[in-house]
Amino acid sequence: MRKNKDGFYTGEYVVENKEKYTGKTNPKCRSSWEHRFCHFLDHQTQVKKWEFESIKIEYFFPIDKKIHRYFPDFYFEEEDKFGKTRKFMVEVKPKNQVFAPKSPKNNSNKRRQRYLYEAQTYVRNRCKWEAAENYCKKKGYEFRLASLVNHKGNNIWKVFSLNQI
């Protein structure tokens, strides 16, 4: 992994359990969180199959009134303890991007601009996620948002459904 021009870690995840990964090439992660989630899927025994950015979903963005393409981060299939297969589509995001931003208490120009940028990003993400939720309902998948949070000194994956936000 290396830092890109914006200071985020990026790089290729080298798949270890190749029989589970169904992508054509190793995942090219744009964040260390995506890299960690690749590792998580690669090493979970209940995960039988997984892919990275393999599904294309179109969504409408009302701010520019255009149709855009969205590639959710992960698709995977897991087998529960009863032998039933469940199919998931997961987007990995920081928790502060999962929920709507709060308006700034100090209404300086810089903070107002930042809030407007975060609000627009949140609207774009909601449009993507609602399109993904509809896609998943048609296919029999479950759509989730995953965020890495610190819990009692340990980093754990916190998973949200769209109706929880």
Residues (pLDDT < 70) of the chain are 1-9
Helix/strand/coil (H/E/C) assignment for every residue in the chain: CEECCCCCEEEECCCCCCCCECCCCCCEECCHHHHHHHHHHHHCCCEEEEEECCCCEEEEECCCCEEEEECCCEEEEEECCCCCEEEEEEEECCHHHHCCCCCCCCCCHHHHHHHHHHHHHHHHHHHHHHHHHHHHHHHCCEEEEEEEEEECCEEEEEEECHHHC
Domain residues for the domain of 37 are 2-164
Q: Which of 15, 22, 23, 19 is nearest to 40 (CA)?
A: 15
pLDDT of residue 92: 95
pLDDT of residue 165: 73
Structure tokens at 108: 């300086």
Structure tokens at 90: 């997961």
pLDDT of residue 130: 97
- Number of domains into which the chain is organized: 1
pLDDT of residue 9: 62
Q: Are 104 and 97 in contact (CB under 8 A)?
A: no
Q: Which residue has the tokens 């995001």?
A: 93
pLDDT of residue 8: 53
pLDDT of residue 158: 87
Q: For residue 137, what is the domain's CATH number?
A: 3.40.1350
pLDDT of residue 2: 57
pLDDT of residue 135: 98
Non-local (6+) Cβ contacts of 23 within 8 A are 15, 51, 52, 54
Structure tokens at 62: 């009302």
pLDDT of residue 3: 58
pLDDT of residue 6: 56
Q: How many Å is the maximal CA-CA distance in the chain?
A: 56
Rounded CA separation 62/112 (Å): 21
